[in-house]
Amino acid sequence: MEIETLRTKLLAAVPDYMAEIAPGPLIRRYLEKNPAPPLPAGPKALLSLGKAAGAMTATLADTFDVAPAHTLSILPEGYPPPPPSYPLFWGSHPLPDRRSLEAFERLRDFIHTLPDERLLVVALSGGSSSLVVQPLPPVGLEDKVSLSKRLIESGAPIETVNALRIHLSSFKGGGLARMIGSRPSLTYILSDIPGDGASLVGSSPMFSVLRDGPGMLSALELWLGDTIPEPVRRLLLSLPSLPPPPPASQALFGGVLASSKTLISAMQKIFLPIAPLSGLPLHILSEELCGEAREVGRVLASQIRWHAPTHPEGALWAASGETTVTLSQGSPGRGGRTQELALSLALSLSKTSALVLSLASDGSDGNSGLAGALLPSAPFCNPRLAHEGQEALFRHDSGEFLERHGWGIRTGPSGTNLNDLLMVVYPPSSPPRSPL
């Protein structure tokens, strides 16, 4: 099969893949296998935060028979909302603003109006961190936003960014659990944290986290040097290193509804039955993919080139997780982590006839408007195209380059957030031409 024919088939299956990882079906499948623990009798309330809040509210309200008036959904603008009768608040993402402070007040009022005995179902998903904020004095919103933005642009891992958010916030790192207090609660998580860090989704509002102010300051200085705002420096130096308190006895954890591992299983269900992929050996590179996108692409390409000659019948390589992009000086172009990862991989596999798919599960990657890319590697044997691709990587302009060549993927916001999927295909009719 010609590579472009296969690409057309894979591209046609992308909507089915996005439907497979939609929150509603994922939640229902999870609860069928993992019923909720015994709960207090009587009416219940529901609080949903993050990119998947709309679908989580719709599904969990139906599951636990929660009246619309007893729900609150807080989600980024542009993401699928809950049904019209359910109250919602549009928050700010990816950086907080005044709406994030207002969201905190709305959330606090919602919780404080609940009867003490009413169970609150808490549904957390990726993108929650910027939606609700309450900075710890003397740090103000402007300092927190500026510092978070600079830390993200520096290429710091998401774990460091989330740690900063926790240290500067009264809401994160268990703050929501403290607001709920002695009321019974049941928490479900749709995780965008690679690996086993689901409790850190949304910067851990329902789980107490160890705070080490001086250690956090050292980590900030590693990425940002001596440019830390003075209010932030004073706050961090005043925070002692204390262990987290034990969880409240009334707080139940329902489990992780889905995670980056879900992306691999969905890929196997949707993409692998497509001829000629069915029956090809599948190699899982990682379910905790992280690091600088363009560098990760080169490293993974090296691994694939090394193993490819042992698979003349063709093979598949897959990974899930979330890489990062460190913006260089000057105005960035249009792109994102999945696009830089895909372009870097394809450039590094130019001596092969491979297909590279890289896809953000939330349907939005960087500032590009694209969800990812699906592109062949062989065209980059052309020196002019290879140079153009390298220039796009250097300028962080991968989105413009990929879309101009017809390789970008647009899905629109998906209403979920489970990290990114990477798939590299060596079709049986197109074995690698060289292991080097």
pLDDT in tens, 290-336: 899 999 999 999 999 998 888 988 999 999 999 988 887 665 789 99
Expressed as residue numbers, the domain containing 65 is 22-259
- Given this model, what pLDDT does residue 162 score? 81
Q: Are residues 168 and 32 in the same domain?
A: yes
Kindly report which listed range (29-38, 154-163, 286-295, 312-321) carries the lowest average pLDDT score.
Answer: 154-163
- Given this model, what pLDDT does residue 368 score? 92
Q: Are residues 272 and 394 in the same domain?
A: yes
Reference 343, options 404, 411, 414, 260; nearest CA is 404
- Given this model, what pLDDT does residue 427 score? 81
Q: pLDDT tens digits for 63-86?
A: 999 999 999 999 999 899 999 999
Q: Which residue has the tokens 């993050």?
A: 50
Q: Are residues 280 and 330 in the same domain?
A: yes
Q: Are residues 200 and 267 in the same domain?
A: no
pLDDT > 70? residue 402: yes
Cα-based torsion angle of the residue sequence 316, 321, 322, 323 in order, rounded to the nearest 10 degrees:
-60
Domain harbouring 36, CATH code: 3.40.50.10180
Residue 435 included in any domain: no
Q: Are residues 159 and 298 in the same domain?
A: no
Kindly report which listed range (23-37, 316-330, 358-372) carries the lowest average pLDDT score.
Answer: 316-330
Rounded to the nearest angstrom, the gap between the alpha carbon of residue 312 and the centroid of all alpha carbons in its chain is 35
Q: Are residues 81 and 138 in the same domain?
A: yes
Dump strand ranges (E) for 309-366.
Answer: 315-321, 355-360
Three-state secondary-structure class, residue 258: strand
Angle, helix 141-153 to helix 158-167, in steps of 10 degrees: 170
Confidence band of 372 (pLDDT split at 50, 70, 90): very high
Q: Are residues 119 and 162 in the same domain?
A: yes
What is the C-alpha separation between 347 and 345, in angstroms, rounded? 5
Q: Among 235, 259, 283, where does a domain finish?
A: 259
Q: Among 259, 277, 302, where does a domain finish?
A: 259
DSSP 356: E
Residue 433 included in any domain: no
Kindly report which listed range (249-253, 360-364, 403-407, 408-412) carries the lowest average pLDDT score.
Answer: 249-253
CA max distance for the chain: 69
Q: Are residues 182 and 95 in the same domain?
A: yes
Q: pLDDT tens digits for 207-259?
A: 988 889 999 999 999 999 999 999 999 999 998 765 565 566 688 999 999 99
Q: Among 205, 237, 259, where does a domain finish?
A: 259
Region at 226 (left for phi over 0; alpha for psi -120 to 50; beta for the rest) = alpha
Average per-residue pLDDT in the chain?
91
* Domains identified in the chain, total number: 2
pTM confidence score: 0.89
Q: Are residues 243 and 365 in the same domain?
A: no
Q: Are residues 235 and 342 in the same domain?
A: no
- Given this model, what pLDDT does residue 118 score? 95
What is the C-alpha separation between 153 and 95, in angstroms, rounded? 12
Confidence band of 431 (pLDDT split at 50, 70, 90): very low
- Given this model, what pLDDT does residue 161 score? 86
Q: Are residues 90 and 161 in the same domain?
A: yes
Q: pLDDT tens digits for 120-151?
A: 999 999 889 999 999 999 999 999 999 988 98
Q: Are residues 326 and 189 in the same domain?
A: no
